[in-house]
Amino acid sequence: GQNIDQPTEMTATEGAIVQINCTYQTSGFNGLFWYQQHAGEAPTFLSYNVLDGLEEKGRFSSFLSRSKGYSYLLLKELQMKDSASYLCAVLNQGGKLIFGQGTELSVKP
Amino acid sequence: DTGVSQDPRHKITKRGQNVTFRCDPISEHNRLYWYRQTLGQGPEFLTYFQNEAQLEKSRLLSDRFSAERPKGSFSTLEIQRTEQGDSAMYLCASSDGTGDYGYTFGSGTRLTVV
């Protein structure tokens, strides 16, 4: 089967750092993606990992361990506008993106 | 190119009616995907096309759902005899098939069946 798990919701303080974890079991693996989705809007691409290690892009970083079926998204210097749902998704063997349920992040002042 | 466009943005329909949604992908993208998303959940795969060929259809998709991409450009998703359980956001996405940047999503069509 295919399964992607991430926490349902998280809360953090403006200016802080938050880590959103994702574990996966899928039929094949061709990369892991993180998307950001504000309420009522389309998901937007944040990051892509296909090899083990850390990818850094400004305030956002994403880590992948293929042997552990694990990834995390790290958000630094949190801003109020970072309040959104964060979706972990795996590109499976068939070239299809399989999504987790999303983590609703609330950033408080 | 302005990205992936979906029409309409919102649709309210009575139970039992048929509805059709349209998606215009990024013109250079040969792959087009339909997903459904309900509140608090991630997008669920429905079907996808490579050019005009429909390559996969989810088991979630009942016989009331049909999708087409007749000329390998825009696509339509039709739901016949709508049910209240069909209420959801229907997302369209396109990609160039390389996987490097995942998909580009449209803004979605929010369907409410009353």
Q: How far is CA A51 from CA A6, A65, A102, B41, B54, in A?
A: 20, 8, 22, 27, 30
**Average pLDDT over every residue of A77-100:** 92
E-assigned strand segments in chain B:
5-7, 10-13, 19-24, 31-37, 44-50, 53-57, 65-68, 75-79, 88-95, 104-105, 109-113
Mutation for A interface: B7, B31, B33, B37, most A CBs within 10 A: B37
**Percentage, residues of chain A above pLDDT 90:** 82
Number of neighbouring beta carbons within 10 Å of residue B23 = 26
pLDDT at B100 exceeding the cut of 80: no
What does pLDDT average to over chain B?
92
> What pLDDT shows up at residue B97?
72
Q: Is B84 helix (H, G, I), strand (E, B) or coil?
A: helix
pLDDT tens digits, A20-37: 999 999 878 989 999 999
Q: From the candidates A6, A33, A96, A101, which should be mutated to test the interface with B, based on the most B CB atoms within 10 A?
A: A96
* Nearest Cα to Cα of residue B35 among A47, A102, A83, A76: A102
- Give A96's pLDDT tier (boundaries 50, 70, 90): confident
Rounded to an integer, the average pLDDT of A50-76 is: 96
Per residue in B13-67, pLDDT tens? 999 999 999 999 999 899 999 999 999 899 999 999 999 999 989 987 889 999 9
Q: Which residue has the higher pLDDT, A79 or B61?
A: A79
Q: Is the pLDDT of residue B85 over 90?
A: yes
Whether B105 has its CB under 8 Å from any CB of chain A: the answer is yes
Residue B31 forms contact with A (CB below 8 Å): yes
**Average pLDDT of chain A, as a whole number:** 94
Average pLDDT, stretch A67-71?
96
Rounded to an integer, the average pLDDT of A37-55 is 93
Residues composing chain A: 109
Mutate to test the interface with A, among B2, B10, B45 (most CBs of A within 10 A): B45
Identify any residues that bridge with A65 across adjacent strands, giving them in sequence order.
A70
User: Inter-chain contact A95–B99, Cβ cutoff 8 Å?
Assistant: yes
Is residue B76 over pLDDT 60?
A: yes
**Separation of alpha carbons B48 and B82, rounded Å:** 21
- Asked if A36 contacts A100 with a C-beta cutoff of 8 angstroms, the reply is no
**Smallest CA–CA separation between A38 and chain B, in Å?**
11
The whole-number pLDDT of residue B99 equals 62
What is the per-residue pLDDT across B17-26, written as a single tens digit (0 to 9) for each? 999 999 999 9
* Gap from A20 CA to chain B (nearest CA, Å): 15
